[in-house]
Amino acid sequence: MPKWEDVVQLLENPKYKWRTIRGVAKELNSSQEEILQLLAKHENEIIKSSIPAESGEGLYTTRRHYQLMTPLFYRFISSFAGNVTSSSSSSSSISESSSSSSESNSKD
């Protein structure tokens, strides 16, 4: 199983705002299930976009990365529009996403 620190490093890659489970798993030579297990274990540190990738896959990032990459005004508006969700409020979303996961502003 990959280390949580390695997953965080990929989620916080400055090239991308959001990452998919599939993309992170591919870069770590891991299974999507292993990545999902780590995300579920650290759900308080993760944000899932309520807007999926074009492929329909879920998009994820860390809270810290979201704050660094997203202007304050957009974060404020997004909180009212429901464009991002706390993984802790939707932990079932993480575990349900195992079958599919593309990245916005990202690569596989």
CA–CA gap between residue 93 and residue 40 (Å, rounded): 9
Range picked from 30-34, 78-82, 84-88 for highest mean pLDDT: 30-34
Backbone angles phi, psi at 46, to 5 degrees: -115, 145
Q: Is pTM beyond 0.75 here? A: no
Reply yes or no on whether the pLDDT at 19 is more than 50.
Answer: yes
Q: Residue 59: which pLDDT band, with cuts at 50, 70 and 90?
A: very high
Say whether pLDDT at 77 is over 80.
no
Task: Say which residues have a Cβ less than 8 Å from residue 66's Cβ, sequence separation at least 6.
Answer: 17, 47, 75, 84
Q: In what order do the strands lie in the sheet with 46-49?
A: 60-62, 46-49, 84-86
Residue 67's pLDDT band, with cuts at 50, 70 and 90, is confident
Tell me the CATH class for 4-93.
mainly alpha
